[in-house]
Chain A
């Protein structure tokens, strides 16, 4: 991206929006994200009434329902703290699409305000916290898959690899067609299963061809898709959310 984004100084408190996928399937990734933030001396507030950003309904075209659910989330961040999400996709929904979704609605100003405070976890760790990482893990070879929302909607294509490159014992390898979508796309994967299958199969093959021990990603949708397919195809590599990966390796004894 040619635009330069200015990041705020490290705050004392942040809100954490865990996302529904993390909540139900990968809570460890969420917890790792929270712990990484706390390690930076930041107090993390987790509003218990949070549910889902509304993206599934939004991308399926059910905007009235997406708006209802999103409106409930807008009320969860009354203080002026920044909001951190362990997902480029959900962060993209809140930062890029909330203002559109609420254009002309009573919540328009609030939606813009919330959107302006939204950060994806890895960009927050890298650009706001300037995180220092001491890698205590065994040498490992990993491939990074950046979600399309993180890469294109949020402009964070370089962030995940930059964090991984801070890890002394991590060798980052790049799969062929690294920028190509893994074929998840939410409901797309079940509405158009054959196309999605062709895409994820190619993605798994590309990652496998690097000989990486693990695939690291910052989005749980991609992770569920790629690791599910890799397991189905009996491939050797594991999938891990970047927050879990960093937290685990910095705390290994």
Chain B
């Protein structure tokens, strides 16, 4: 994980490459509070990935910059997706949380879904990608 964080600016899984209809998804996070650590983006395909039952296929990170940060993900086939973003401030490769599981680092989901008891539901975070698309996301602190 450490290696992963320190290496690339962009890491995109390529298993979608075989699809003919490939689209570009742009994700803009507009409220990165500090330049500490990394901002990590996961593209989740299907509820199983969202629930953590299956590892997310696409995972990208950038060095954090204060203010706004943009990810562009190309070659995504049409389909139903969700996005999870976290600000890994201390660079330990995970979203830190306290001993009852309340996150202590900024996090967000697509559609800016926040949920109101535990996490948001798949229906609240999912979106259909059928062309070029942009998701504007705000971190929850």
A and B physically associate: no
